[in-house]
Structure 1
Amino acid sequence: MPATTPATTPATPPATTSALTPVLIVGSGPTGLTLACDLARRSIGVRMIDKSADFPRSSRAKGPNPRSLEVLEDLGVVDRVLAAGSGPLPMRKYRNGRAIADTDPFESPHPTPDIPYAHGRLIAQWQLEEILRDRLAEYGVRVELGSEAVALSEGPDSVTVALADGRSIEARYVVGCDGGHSPVRKMLGVPFEGKTAEEQSMVCGDVEADGLDRGIWHQWFDEDGAVMMCPIPGTPSGWWFQAGPERDAAGGLVPPSLESFRRLFAKHTRLPAERLTRATLLSTYRVNERMADRYRVGRVFLAGDAAHVHSIAGGLGMNTGIQDAYNLGWKLARVVDGRSDPGLLDTYEEERLPVASWTLDITAERLRETLDAIRRPGGGLDSAMSADTTGLGLGHPWSSLSAPGSTPRLRAGDRAPDA
């Protein structure tokens, strides 16, 4: 592999942007990085910009599911992901501070020749992004930080993206992978219909804690709340922290902080609050269920959270975005290099928009199941998992690319078993 500068070094933007870029990706999360790696390995010119000044260190998503691991294998990084992460952990449920049940929802099935990854992998999102950035750097492409897209204008053969610093980039195609608040989607005027469930809220963050078994995903439930802590792989004392929020006297949400996390921890675990020694990347999460009504406007596409957001139950957020990117990558490559008619790009929305609709439905169902389960002694987050959340059963049999035909096991448009 060619020598490169470290992928985590902020790229210096070119002094001029007059050359036509084949594909410009806005946003450098897992969705955008998957798409960039896929295009770069196909020798398609790609640039990636992000408005952030630095790469985030957020743990956020807990890792790729079995279907995404197959994508990462195809991109040549799965061994790095497996080495950096850990396998899924058994779950210990507590009631009123007492351990009452251990379950291992990942105990079976086991890998088979046609399903080499029977389970997902726990890995902090920043670690996965770093692996994908390193892979992208091997193709000579680096993320251009501090580059905020503020306007789009489309001509007959290209799109010009204006940046906040006065520069502009002209590209044949642009893909907005810039999250649930997507500026690209807003510039396009694409509606993002749905709902926000204010009553279904939680506080989240990365914490450091002492004295807890790191081989367990701990889940403390009471009648009036919960605390859930999962160890972050590759850290000596880091944990994903999720909890039902504190509320003030007026019923409003108390902003997350180390102090509020300690109060929640002590209340629900019956352990000393001082065991939590640090809390970072604090956020309040509200369940949003929204999706764009179209994934393409001319030469501009939407992918990942820019196109759909939903409950975290089942862990499908990042994974659905990775699958969006994988679907779009080969199609853009074939059109850019002239091997396929541009009409091929219409099949991206045709195939992926129904998957987003299904994802909103299945995650809402998994959330209801989980909320019901945790009210019962012994219930926990394992209720958020199902065969559907592996991603292995998803296909596109309705697609115009799926020619009629089937075998006893497969239809056109199904996921092809590993060969």
Structure 2
Amino acid sequence: MTTERVDVLVVGGGPVGLFAAALLAARGVHVAVWERRTADPTGSRAIGIHPPSLDAFAAIDLDGPVLAEATRVRAGVARSRGRDLGTLTFDRVSATHPYVVTLDQHRTECLLRDRLADLAPGALRVATTLTGLERHPDHVDATGTGPDGGSVAVRASFVIGADGARSATRGLLGITTRGRDYPDHYVMGDFADVEGAAARSAAIVDVGPAGVVESFPLPGGRRRYVVLVPDGSGVDAPRLASIVAERTGTAPDGASCTMLSGFRVRRREAVRVGVGRVVLAGDAAHEISPIGGQGMNLGWLDAAELAPLLARAVASGAPGPWPDHARRRQAVARRAARQAEVNMALGRPLGGLGTIGREALLRTVLSLPTADGLAGVYAMRWA
């Protein structure tokens, strides 16, 4: 078995790993990516791309291709029981991108793959699974299984574990996680957008008494609905459309559904972000609730901060680790997790008096001069 030599091995070829690899390749770092999946990206699970991520994409000239396909979300509207409670506009959240955009995850991944192929042809190795790590003072030896079932090996100066919430990299390092599971069940689906023309560029959050219904415009005249349900099992597309209609008065066509998925929520944080020359990024380091659309963006911003550190270390021979980086990124992830918890709490079912109180609170908060600051919070200006 021949051992390949690279500067940085990225384990995980999802959105975070691809972006980290592209950032490193743009800085002249010899990089390889091991991705266990064999098929091309599919599905539209994570859709939100926030202004700081778009700014980070500019480093590899990816902001233009993303914006060419994405839908711009320029405002967020809070509703309850058929009435608007207030609106947050994103006009002032960023000097470069005064909006949040949505794009199906598989399209974002394809654009990232294309950009990595331009910067480092052949760097992405699909159907390749990490099985072993041996750390040394000046390098890391990684072993795995390749597309034909045979063994593969890489000797790298550094390894990035961007392989998700069930990270093999984290497991091989013996790093544990801490966190909690939440009782909330959600079902989400993509339907033809039946909102009025004025709402086609708005995210709508309906916090009625039966539980939250969030919706976001998508490219191609579609809209993503995310619905809190007592139990996600047995909710098919017609039933989801019916729940949306019952709670909001807006009736999507169940037959137009192109994606349906249920999920529960948990929060996890790795007790360490890395060991020596191996560092974790994205969900491998911190997993948070999908409510609020922050998780993928957190991973991209991990990569944006980590890439220059690694590039300088490769050039200078510095060994790492970077405790300041770890502290900053985990602190940001904790803030995002707390925000997601607030979002979930605001969307849980309430009785009559509770619903009236929630509506009054949101009307007041959204009418204050500080609403611009709140829009910045939801657009991740702080990340």
Q: TM-score, normalised by structure 1?
A: 0.76
Q: Answer 1 or 2: which has greater strand percent.
A: 2
Equivalent of residue 168 in structure 1, options 140, 152, 161: 152
Q: CA deviation at 1:45?
A: 1.0
3-state DSSP of counterpart to 2:247: helix
Do residues 186 (structure 1) and 186 (structure 2) align?
A: no
Indicate which of 141, 165, 168 corresponds to 1:159. Answer: 141
Equivalent residue number for residue 261 of structure 1 = 240
Q: Pick from 325, 345, 349 the counterpart of residue 368 of structure 1.
A: 345
| 1:204-219 paired onto structure 2 within 5 Å | 204-205=188-189, 207-209=190-192, 211-213=194-196, 214-219=200-205
Distance 1:187 1:223, change over 3 A: same
Contact 2:79 2:85 in 1 (8 A): no
Give the unaligned 5+ runs of structure 1. Answer: 1-15, 248-252, 395-419
Q: What is the aligned partner in structure 2 of residue 13 from structure 1?
A: none
Q: Measured at CA, do residues 350 and 89 of structure 1 come closer, stay the same or move farther in structure 2, by a change above 3 Å? A: closer
SS of 1:105's equivalent in the other structure is strand
The alpha-carbon deviation at position 110 of structure 1 amounts to: 6.7
8 Å CA contact 2:195, 2:250 repeated in 1: no
- Return the offset for 1:67: 1.5
Residue in structure 1 matching 2:209, options 195, 198, 223:
223
- 1:201 and 2:185 are equivalent in the alignment: yes
For the residue of structure 2 that corresponds to 1:197, the secondary structure is strand
Q: 2-side partners of 1:20 and 1:210: how far apart?
A: 50
1:291 is paired with a residue whose SS is strand
Q: Report Cα offsets for 1:161-195 as digits up to 9, x if no partner.
A: 22262322223222111111222212222111010
2: CA distance, partners of 1:386 / 1:340: 42
Query: Secondary structure, in 3 states, of the residue corresponding to 1:368?
Result: helix
Deviation at 1:212, TM superposition (A): 3.6
Quote how far apart the aligned CAs of 1:265 are.
3.3
- Distance of aligned partners of 1:371 and 1:270 in 2 relative to their CA distance in 1, 3 Å threshold: closer
Segment of structure 1 superposing worse, 144-153 or 286-295: 144-153
Cα distance in 2 for partners of 1:343, 1:299 equals: 6
* 2: CA distance, partners of 1:34 / 1:110: 23
**Identity in percent:** 26
- How far apart, in 1, do the equivalents of 2:86 and 2:107 lie? 27
Aligned counterpart, 1:125: 105
1:40 aligns with 25
Q: How far apart in 2 are the matches of 1:108 and 1:212?
A: 22
Contact 1:255–1:284 (CA under 8 A) maintained in structure 2 = no
Cα 1:123–1:181 shift into 2, 3 Å = same
CA distance 1:346–1:161, change in 2 (3 Å): farther
Q: Is the 8 A contact 2:16 2:281 kept in 1?
A: yes
Deviation at 1:270, TM superposition (A): 4.7
More helix by share: 2
1:372 positional shift: 8.8
**Inter-partner Cα distance in structure 2 for 1:148 and 1:255:** 34
The offset of 1:306, in angstroms, is 0.7
CA RMSD in angstroms, aligned pairs only: 3.1
SS in structure 1 of the partner of residue 233 of structure 2: coil
Alignment deviations for residues 26-67 of structure 1 (CA, whole Å, 9 cap, x no partner): 112221121111110111111112111223323223332222
Which among 39, 60, 65 is matched to residue 80 of structure 1?
65
Q: Quote the offset at 1:259 in angstroms.
A: 3.9
Find the counterpart in structure 1 of residue 266 from structure 2: 288
Q: Distance in 1 between matches of 2:321 and 2:228?
A: 45
Question: What amino acid is aligned across from residue 36 of structure 1 in structure 2?
Answer: A
Which amino acid in the other structure matches residue 175 of structure 1? Answer: I
Q: Aligned with 1:244: secondary structure?
A: strand
Q: Which region of structure 1 is more displaced relative to structure 2, 317-326 or 162-171?
A: 162-171
Out of 300-309 and 172-181, give the one that drifted further: 172-181
Unaligned runs of 5+ residues in structure 2 are none
Deviation at 1:291, TM superposition (A): 0.4
Instruction: Tell whether the 8 Å contact from 2:93 to 2:381 is kept in structure 1 after alignment.
Output: no
Residue 241 of structure 2 aligns with an amino acid whose one-letter code is R
Deviation at residue 308 of structure 1 after TM alignment: 0.4
Question: Residues 22-41 of structure 1 correspond to what in structure 2 (within 5 A)?
Answer: 22-41=7-26
Count of residues in correspondence between the two structures: 363
How far, CA to CA, are the matches of 2:193 and 2:376 in structure 1? 34
Going from structure 1 to structure 2, the CA distance change for 1:162 and 1:230 (only over 3 Å counts) comes to same
Amino acid at match of 1:335: A
Kept in 1, the 8 Å contact 2:175–2:272? The answer is: yes
